[in-house]
Chain A
Amino acid sequence: MIATAPPSTAESTRTAISRRPFLAVRDARKHYGAVQALRGVDFAIAPGEVVGLVGHNGAGKSTLMNVLAGTVQRTSGDFSVGETAIDAWSPHRAQGRGLRCVFQELSLCGNLTLAENTRVMHRALRGFGWRRRAGDAIRRTLDAIFPGHGIPVGARVADLPIGARQMAEIARAFSVTDEPVRCVILDEPTSALGHEAAEQLLAYIRKAASEGVACILITHRLDEIMAVCDRAVVMVDGQVTAERPIHGLTRAALVGLMGTIEAQHDRSREPTAAPSGAALVVDDPGRGPGDLPIRAMAGDIVGFAGLDGHGQRERLRALYAGGRRGPRPVAYVAGDRGTEGVFALWSIADNLTIRSLDSLRRGGFLSPKAEAELARTWAERLKVKAPSVDTPILSLSGGNQQKVLFARALASDAEVIFLDDPMRGVDVNTKQDVYRLIRSEAAKGRCFIWYTTELEELNNCERLYVFREGRAATMLSGAEIGPSRVLEASFGGGHD
């Protein structure tokens, strides 16, 4: 399916490795507080080599790329470019060495034209006639990578469709003024590209590699890795768990390398088939073809899985919005604590009871006694570690804050509870406590709709919708639920 077949024989891979690496990190670590994003990564890339970096959400791929690009400082580890050991690294220095990056969330300024955006990257584009030179540089690269693209370089980025923006950003990374390009890191570069543009890009990556430009390709579309890379590097949990030459590697084997999470089968109840009829508490018909209807009964735990950002959260919010208009009380547990979960200046009790104020009213006023009672009961049930429920919520650890948010939903009268990836960055013990509680609450007849990016959590679900490209594409239930099936369904067939 790719016009230029990659010369990715074992031989070329070997020669690539044996050459002196363009860039190498050893034992790179990155901590964000207690969260370890990178736990000692060794990585090297030779000039002209194309390396595919794969792994599930949160495996540390983007962190590694940010460390390499200088936008995030590593906590520890050796780093060398060419033969020089690098101590302090910054995007400016990285660019001076010919290292460029295409970030996942696009990094163009919407209010500027393409030419002006090119100028932002290239310091050499200044002085008289810079606009024309910048326009020429970006047009040349666009023409080389995406022949027939039809994007005017004078157009403002905000007025371009998302696909054209992505093409422009890729072209900007490959554009040359004074410094030659030596290595380009591409993070999900094809997510918004059409089929044809994606193939053009892959062909260009091979061509650039033959001219000595190294590429690191991070993508969930495994077919692209198979088509264009010399070597695949698999990351799991902030570590590189496997490195294989693409030659002789199958797609299934690559998926297998990623899914090393053990399955636990501790289901308390038999899986139920997709329900129908009057007992439904959630009934959403789906949006058009390819989008499965989502139905759930009282007592169900239904999971939303798939790669991050494939429409799970949007669907969850739509269901919640629908539920609020419906006859049954609903509650929502936010995953993004800081912005949509916690009232930062309030105490634990205030945060916990805000969803249940109606039931705490005594003669038109809130009863402080009932409030404290409710807060204490649920703080105890969830084992919130705090001296008292009057402690300010921000004095709690992240995991305990999340428990309070759970308690807020569970203490309410909600029959359907929506969970928006609530366990992100929460420690294992808290998770186990909460899983147990969710299962026991479900047994009492509450229904949970649970969006999660963590595969192991899906084992708590009886039924699972795997999302791809904005649609609930696959339904798995009961014994079908397992990391490999979920991964398979999330990656889908890639192209065609």
Chain B
Amino acid sequence: MTDATTTDAVLAARRLGLARRPWLRDALGVGLPAVALAAMLAVIMHIRPTAMSYFGFTLLFKLATPLVFAALSQMLVITLGDIDLSNGSFVGLVTCVTALFLADAPVEALLLYVLAVAAYAAFGLLIHVQRLPSIIVTLGMSFIWLGLAVILLPSPGGAAPAWLNAFMNWRPPLLPLPIWIALLAALAGHLVVTHSSYGAVLRGAGANPRAVERAGWSLLGIRAAVYAAAGSLAVLSGLALTGLTTSGDANIAPSYTLLGVGAVILGGGSFTGGAVSPVGTVVGALTLSLAGSLLSFLQVPPTWQIGAQGVILFLVLAGRILVAEKTP
């Protein structure tokens, strides 16, 4: 038995010695997309030095704001080990509601937002109670949202309220608005998900739901709250997008679903549940939205852009896997 104890101790020491590595692993999780982001910026600056300005950054990251919110919404769902395939069409529905009602009938518009968020939470409950795979339920939801949006607004149109439009074009001091929003969103996400005591319970519930349930928490409540929060973030995404485009369109944001998933994974998250990084997700969303601009600067023909964006995503993810293999 003494043999076993010494090997135990040696093993413990060896493994505990490695316990410092996770910091490195976390840093790499966020660091890799950050490096990719910096590299893309460098290429753009090289081609067009004038982009290195307040105005240039405003333009480059303009469309990143709604994607940041959509990606954070997706991140919450992935934290629980689920996936949300309805995210993009929900954002489209929100742009329709906003463009149709927010300017003239703000109360009704707010009511609709609340209803939509409640529906999100209800689908979360359904997934939990019936033990359905989230991928199926949210795929079905995506058609419901799309259908509702088309009923509301059969062809793109409507008008964003002037204040929303003005806010999205506001030029705050020091940094462009998209950068401010990204910073604040990353900070808020970090405080809530990574730092707060409830964030710990949430991440625990994603990784080992049984353990959290045995500790006396209601998984049902957690799932409903997370889906409601995800719905609220998607509403914010839709608002931001309407403010930028000034009109509603049911089919404007289907790509957000998978770009959001890409941002979460790029930012160091994983599908196993409980392993997500809000800061990484925000950086990932910025990276993905910049990839499109980079390709335009490189004069890649539009026909090839979607494919080229895929290649960039592939390269960064492949880099992550290589790095993860090197760090035990």
Q: Which residues of A contact B (CB under 8 A)?
A: 69, 71, 90-92, 94-95, 101, 103, 107-112, 116-117, 119-121, 123, 125-127, 130-131, 150-152, 155-156, 159-161, 163-164, 194-196, 495-496
List residues of chain A with CB within 8 A of the CB of B207.
109-112
B238–chain A nearest beta-carbon distance, Å: 31
Given A119-B201, A159-B22: 14 more A-B contacts, CB < 8 Å: A94-B216, A95-B216, A108-B208, A109-B203, A109-B212, A117-B204, A120-B217, A150-B16, A152-B19, A155-B22, A160-B15, A160-B19, A161-B16, A195-B2
Asked whether A107 and B18 contact (CB < 8 A) given A119-B201, A120-B200, the answer is no
Interface string of B188-217 (1 = CB under 8 A from A): 000000010110110110111011111111
Given known contacts A109-B207, A111-B274, is B215 in contact with A120 (CB within 8 Å)?
yes
Known contacts A119-B201, A152-B16, A161-B11; is A110 also within 8 Å of B208 by CB? yes
Instruction: Give Cα distance in the complex from A169 to B19, angstroms.
Output: 18
CB-CB under 8 A for A107 and B215, given A125-B197, A127-B197, A194-B9: yes
A475 to nearest B CB, angstroms?
23
Q: Is B5 an interface residue (CB 8 A)?
A: yes
Q: How far is the CA of A111 from the CA of B208 in the complex (A)?
A: 9
Tell me the bound Cα distance from A107 to B214 in angstroms: 8
Residues of chain B lying within 8 A (CB to CB) of residue A119 = 197, 200-201
Report yes or no: B211 in contact with A195, Cβ–Cβ below 8 A.
Answer: no
Q: Give B268 Cβ to nearest chain A Cβ, in Å.
A: 12
Q: Which of B1, B21, B214, B274 contacts A195 (CB 8 A)?
A: B1
**Minimal Cβ-Cβ distance residue in B for A93:** B216
On whether A195 and B216 interact (CB within 8 A), knowing A111-B274, A120-B204, A161-B15, the answer reads no
Q: How far is the CA of A127 from the CA of B201 in the complex (A)?
A: 13
Contact of B201 among A91, A120, A160 (CB under 8 A): A120
B311: interface (CB < 8 Å): no
Distance to closest chain A CB from B196 (angstroms): 8
Q: Which residues in window 1-32 of B have CB below 8 A to A? A: 1-2, 4-5, 8-9, 11-13, 15-16, 18-19, 21-22
A195 to B22, CA, bound (A): 29
A111 near B16: Cβ-Cβ < 8 Å? no
Contact B1 A164 (CB under 8 A): no
- For the complex, would chain B's binding face be called helix, strand, loop or mixed by DSSP majority? helix
State A359–B217 Cα separation when bound (angstroms): 55
- Please pick, from B4, B21, B206, B210, the residue contacting A194 in the complex, using a CB distance under 8 A: B4
User: What would 10 A/B residue contacts be, using CB atoms closer than 8 Å?
Assistant: A69-B214, A107-B214, A109-B208, A120-B201, A155-B19, A159-B15, A159-B18, A161-B8, A194-B5, A195-B2
Known: A495-B1, A496-B1. A120 touches B211 (CB 8 A): yes
Q: Could you tell me which B residues sit within 8 Å of A by CB distance?
A: 1-2, 4-5, 8-9, 11-13, 15-16, 18-19, 21-22, 195, 197-198, 200-201, 203-204, 206-208, 210-217, 274-275
Closest Cβ of chain A to B30, distance in Å, is 16
Out of B200, B201, B211, B216, name the residue touching A108 (CB < 8 Å): B211
Cα–Cα distance between A110 and B211 once the two chains are bound (Å) = 10
Question: How far is it, in angstroms, between the C-alpha of A17 and the C-alpha of B213 when the chains are bound?
Answer: 33
Q: What residues on B are CB-neighbors of A163 within 8 Å?
A: 8, 12
A69 to B4, CA, bound (A): 33
Q: Which residues of A contact B217 (CB under 8 A)?
A: 92, 120
Task: Please report the C-alpha to C-alpha distance between residue A120 and residue B197 in the assembled complex, in whole angstroms.
Answer: 8
Tell me the complex Cα distance, A487–B46, Å. 76
Known A71-B214, A156-B22; contact A161-B204, beta-carbon cutoff 8 A: no
Question: A119–B210 Cα gap in the complex (Å)?
Answer: 16
Inter-chain contact A126/B198, CB cutoff 8 Å: yes
How near does chain A come to B215, taking the closest CB pair, in angstroms? 5
* Chain A nearest CB, measured from B272 CB (Å): 8
A125 — which chain B residues lie within 8 A by C-beta? 197
- The answer on a CB contact under 8 Å between B216 and A112 is no
Task: Give which listed residue, B16, B198, B204, contacts A164 with CB less than 8 A.
Answer: B16
Q: Closest residue of chain A to B213, judged by CB?
A: A91
Q: Collect the chain B residues with CB atoms within 8 Å of residue A156's CB.
A: 19, 22
The residue in A92, A161, A196 that gathers the most chain B C-beta atoms within 10 A of its C-beta is: A161
How long is the Cα–Cα vector from A49 to B213 in the complex, in angstroms? 28
The answer to whether residues A112 and B200 also contact, given A120-B212, A496-B1 and a CB cut-off of 8 A, is: yes
Question: Cβ of A111: which chain B residues have Cβ within 8 Å of it?
Answer: 203-204, 206-207, 274-275
B12 and A161 contacting across the interface, CB-CB below 8 Å = yes
Which residues of the other chain, A, contact B197 by a CB distance below 8 angstroms?
A: 119, 125-127, 130-131
A107 and B211 contact, CB distance less than 8 A? yes
Contact A112 B204 (CB under 8 A): yes
Nearest CB in chain B: distance from A115 CB, A: 8
B191 to chain A minimum Cβ distance, whole angstroms, is 12
- CA of A439 to CA of B129, assembled, Å: 46
A94 to B195, CA, bound (A): 28
Residues of A within 8 A of B19 (CB): 152, 155-156, 159-160
Contacts of A123 in B (CB 8 A): 216
Docked complex Cα distance between A1 and B210 (Å): 36
CB <8 Å contact, A91 and B214: yes
Which 10 A/B pairs are nearest by Cβ-Cβ distance? A92-B216, A109-B204, A107-B211, A116-B200, A126-B197, A194-B5, A194-B8, A111-B207, A111-B274, A130-B197
Q: How far is the CA of A119 from the CA of B197 in the complex (A)?
A: 7
Closest to A124 in B: B197
Whether A109 contacts B211 in the complex (CB less than 8 A), given A150-B16, A160-B15, A161-B15, comes out as yes
Q: A111-B207, A130-B197, A151-B16 are in contact. Are A91 and B1 (CB under 8 A)?
A: no
Q: How far is the CA of A120 from the CA of B275 in the complex (A)?
A: 16
- Among residues of B, the one whose C-beta sits closest to the C-beta of A92 is B216
- Which of A71, A92, A107, A127 is the one whose CB lies under 8 Å from B208? A107
CB distance from B239 to the nearest CB of A (A): 31
Bound together, the chains give a CA A112 to CA B215 distance in angstroms of 14
- Chain B nearest CB from A382 CB (Å) reads 33
**Closest residue of B by beta carbon distance from A122:** B215
With A107-B208, A163-B12, A194-B4 given, is the CB distance from A91 to B22 under 8 Å?
A: no
Q: Is the CB of A195 within 8 A of B4?
A: yes
Closest chain B residue to A127, Cβ basis: B197
Q: How far is the CA of A159 from the CA of B2 in the complex (A)?
A: 24
Residues in A with CB closer than 8 Å to B212 are 109, 120
Q: Which residues of A contact B1 (CB under 8 A)?
A: 195, 495-496
Q: Is the CB of B203 within 8 A of A112?
A: yes
How many Å lie between the Cα of A103 and that of B211 in the bound state? 9
A431 vs B215: C-alpha distance in the bound complex, in angstroms? 39
Q: Please tell me if the beta carbons of B198 and A103 are within 8 angstroms of each other in the complex.
A: no
Q: Which of A91, A101, A160, A195 contacts B5 (CB 8 A)?
A: A195
B106 CB to closest chain A CB, in angstroms? Answer: 35
Complex: A121 Cα to B217 Cα, angstroms? 9
Q: Which of B5, B18, B204 contacts A116 (CB 8 A)?
A: B204
CB distance from A439 to the nearest CB of B (A): 40
Bound Cα distance A151, B9 (Å): 11
| CA gap between A116 and B13 in the complex, in Å | 22
Q: Report the minimal beta-carbon distance from A3 to chain B, rounded to whole angstroms.
A: 16
Which residues of B sit under 8 angstroms from A110, Cβ to Cβ? 207-208
User: In the complex, A95→B215 CA distance in Å?
Assistant: 8
Tell me the complex Cα distance, A120–B200, Å.
Answer: 7
